[in-house]
Amino acid sequence: MVVEFTILDFLNGFFSFLTILTALIVGLIIIKRYLEHKTNVLLFIGLAWMALYQPWWPSAFSFLSVLFTGTRFPIQIYLFVGNFFIPVSITLWFLGVTNLILQNKKKILISFYLILSIIATILIIYFIFTNYQVIGMYGTGGLFDVEFETSMVLYLLFLNATIAITGIMMGRESLSSNDPEIKMKGKFLILGSLFYTLGGLLDVGLLNLIPEALVITRTILILGSIFFYFGLFLPKFVKKLIFRKKNL
């Protein structure tokens, strides 16, 4: 069935696309730094950052589908695309962060989250093809809004909290430095983690948002990617702007 955009649908879909595009660009820049410095942690974190935005892939792809073909993804495809690579994303994330923090718990953390994610993904795929309503359905917030069921919300919130906690821990390590630039990077890492978490909390259905708020949610997620990148590689123009103001 051919569907039509409302202005709000277009804005929500467009900002979903920008969210994924920003995460992709940030991830690729981090990987480029890996190619320059041959530091494995940058490869894992770059790949992970792109993959961690997987829950918003189907929203962005469905937007493009409606834009060019007039049809949106069936809910089963939407749920599949948004969840299938979660085990990969969480494994890559822990391969990266445990090279910086929690080194002594690396094997335990990776094994636990990998096993949990694989089991959850198997269940998700099973229910997608048998009773997808157990996972979620298209919501009332527009063409690209999905309302998840309680069990799925709790699972996504658990993973979201994991990313937030480990990201904040990375930032706290930098805050202990005497170097003002490294401290500033730590603050951006914490900000990036908090913005990613806040965007996830709002988008997963923790709060009943009015459709207009979805645009704000996507903007928060975009800022999460930007701040996270600043936390890894503080750009010269940001550095000059921040430290110039402090010296005034």
Range scoring the smallest mean pLDDT among 21-25, 58-62, 84-88 = 84-88
What band does 246 get if pLDDT is binned at 50, 70 and 90?
Answer: low
The percentage of residues in the chain with a pLDDT greater than 90, rounded to a whole number, is 19
Handedness of CA 124, 126, 128, 131 (dihedral sign): negative
150 has pLDDT over 70: yes
Position 149 in a domain: yes
Residue 209 in any domain: the answer is: yes
3-state secondary structure of 100: coil
Q: Which of 12-21, 24-33, 185-194, 239-248 has the lowest mean pLDDT?
A: 239-248
Instruction: Name which of 83, 79, 66 is nearest 119 in CA terms.
Output: 83
Residue 1 in domain: no
Q: What is the pLDDT of residue 224?
A: 93
Residue 76 in contact with residue 134, Cβ under 8 Å? no
Q: Is 137 part of a structural domain of the chain?
A: yes
Is 188 a domain residue? Answer: yes
Model pLDDT, residue 63: 87
Q: pLDDT-based confidence at 67, cuts 50/70/90?
A: confident
Cα–Cα distance measured from residue 93 to residue 84, given in angstroms and rounded to the nearest whole number: 16
How far from chain centre, in Å, is Cα 112? Answer: 20
Q: Which two tokens stand for residue 169?
A: 């821990």
Whose CA is closest to 42, among 54, 23, 28? 28
- pLDDT at residue number 38: 82
Q: Is residue 142 part of a domain?
A: yes
Q: Quote the pLDDT of residue 206.
A: 54
The total number of structural domains that make up the chain: 1
What is the rounded average pLDDT for all residues in the chain? 84
What does the pLDDT average to over 149-167?
A: 86
Predicted confidence (pLDDT) at residue 208 exceeds the cutoff of 60: no
Higher pLDDT, 102 or 222: 222
CATH of the domain at 26: 1.20.1070
How far apart (Å, rounded) are the C-alpha atoms in residues 118 and 208?
29
The confidence score (pLDDT) of residue 144 equals: 76
Residue with tokens 């660009």: 25
Q: At what angle do helices 150-175 and 106-130 cross, to 10 degrees?
A: 150
> Does residue 161 surpass a pLDDT of 80?
yes
**Total-model pTM:** 0.85
> CA-CA distance, 142 to 216, in Å (whole number)?
14
Residue 2 within any structural domain of the chain = no
State pLDDT tens for residues 93-145: 888 888 888 888 888 988 888 888 888 888 888 998 899 898 888 876 667 77
Q: What is the pLDDT of residue 207?
A: 54
pLDDT band at 2 (very low <50, low <70, confident <90, very high): low
Q: Which domain does 188 fall in, by range?
A: 7-247
Q: Is 72 part of a structural domain of the chain?
A: yes
